[in-house]
Amino acid sequence: MVSTDAAPRQGSEVREYQNLIGGKWVPAQSGRTFQSLNPADTEEVVGVFPRSGREDVIAAVDAAKSAFASWSRTPAPGRADIILRAATLLESRKEEVARLMTREMGKVLEEARGDVQEGIDMGKYMAGEGRRFFGETVPSELRDKFAMAIRQPFGVVGLITPWNFPIAIPTWKTFPALLAGNTIVFKPAEDTPACAAALVEILMEAGLPDGVLNLVAGYGEEAGQPLVDDERVRMISFTGSAVVGREVAARAGRGLKKVSLELGGKNPIIVMNDADLELALEGALWGAFGTSGQRCTAASRLIVQRGVLDEFTKELVARTRKLRVGNGLDPDVDMGPVINAEQLEKIHSYTQIGQHEGADLLIGGKILDGREYSRGYFYSPTIFANAGYRMRIAQEEIFGPTTVILPVDDYDEAVQVANSVEFGLSSAIYTRDVNRAFHAIHDLEAGITYVNAPTIGAEIQLPFGGIKGTGNGHREAGTSAIREFTEIKSVYIDYSGRLQRAQIDTE
């Protein structure tokens, strides 16, 4: 977890960051700060950040509100030009930002580069939408009358983002919100504020006017909650845990704000007897242990038909044993640390829960504590087998490098098990039967379904989000992102020169 007291490594220079409010970089009004630590080496302080409070959030909302009139009147293609410049700048600094991400969040450098690339792609995609920005034109029932629907911004929006994709997810929210003409107060996760600052600096360098984007670093209860509560903030976009998401929805609901929630997942990969087993194994390994399992789309359940169960299980354990855990900057490392001490303990507690429930621990289940792991938060890749699908390890989101193999007899049982959890984000099935694949697309209760691919790997040009406990029905990415950050206004233009009354019987 982010520390407020850790000292920087002897002889190192630590950057002191500030909030961005109204185009000026300023400290927290309280003067308090906190530190962001490298989860692979907690003696390294990535940066010192303002520990913002209510007064800082109020100032940021003031600035965003003042900037709204001018920004919302800027033509959408002009707003898009700034987003495109930001995407180009991010592309030119991809390696620099990726290395910062690995130091601050822990994911291996190859994955960090992918995270940044997703932000680049989102910027270019949204820039293109600046010359589309579709509304609707429809025929009127009356003569000499024109009818259309247009999209307009909310005003000030609050963006609260998680630590696991500290560039990609902020761009999913920031770029469409800006394109739509909103102004922003951005509160990043306290574990990854340096990545957020890097993105904001790029947007300002790209020419974003003062006050349009405001950054406040800090903790959820101290900075996030005042942002949700401020009556001038008309929309909240939140990605994070289901527990916090429900609290955000409840608080924002009292102000009748629009709330977009992207919460948890407990995602299944179904492996049928006719699957390409090599392909399924590669997908399961990547889906379960990519980003150390710290993805809302991670494959935390492997639902395997009994005809291939033994072979699949044996080979998956063998491949997992070969994974090297360590500092993500090391090119030979396959899996980095988890984000902080609290998450490390949570992950290990689920290992203990699984063993208590009677599941077989096939590999892993340990906090790694050898010399190379002594200064970081490292957990061994973990696989459970012979588990019941109602066990807690098969129902609750762990958000770590833990997956559970669940045997089934047939397709119908596989779907039943897949749909048995409260979440509904991503899902996957491996099969060579095209008919079964199309049945799965229909039958699986999820916002995303992959056929012969793992549960991770969404692309920015399609909507991203889930059903059931994963959120409240909203979607990010694709053209859905623009819909999320706009309100609809219906417009009627009567050029008949006389009163015409719709829905009146004129006969």
Active-site annotation holder among 111, 118, 262, 476: 262
55 as an active site residue: the answer is no
Q: Quote the crossing angle between the two packed helices 94-105 and 193-205, to the nearest 10°.
A: 160
Helix 277-289 and helix 306-321: axis angle, to 10°?
50
Does residue 399 contact residue 162 with C-beta atoms inside 8 Å? no
DSSP string, 304-352: EEHHHHHHHHHHHHHHHHTPPBS-TTSTT-SB---S-HHHHHHHHHHHH
Q: Is 296 a catalytic residue?
A: yes
Two tokens, residue 447: 């916002």
Element (H, E) at 50: strand 41-50
Given 104, 129, 195, 296, the catalytic residue: 296
Distance between CA atoms of residues 461 and 479, nearest Å: 7
Rg (CA), the chain: 24
CA atoms within 13 A on the CB side of 472: 20
Q: How many residues does the chain have?
A: 507
Structure tokens at 117: 């690339």
* Distance between CA atoms of residues 253 and 248, nearest Å: 8
Q: Which residues of 125-146 are buried (b: 16+ CB within 10 A; e: fewer)?
A: bbbebbeebeeeeeeeeeeeee
Helix (H) / strand (E) containing 153: strand 145-153
Catalytic residues: 262, 296
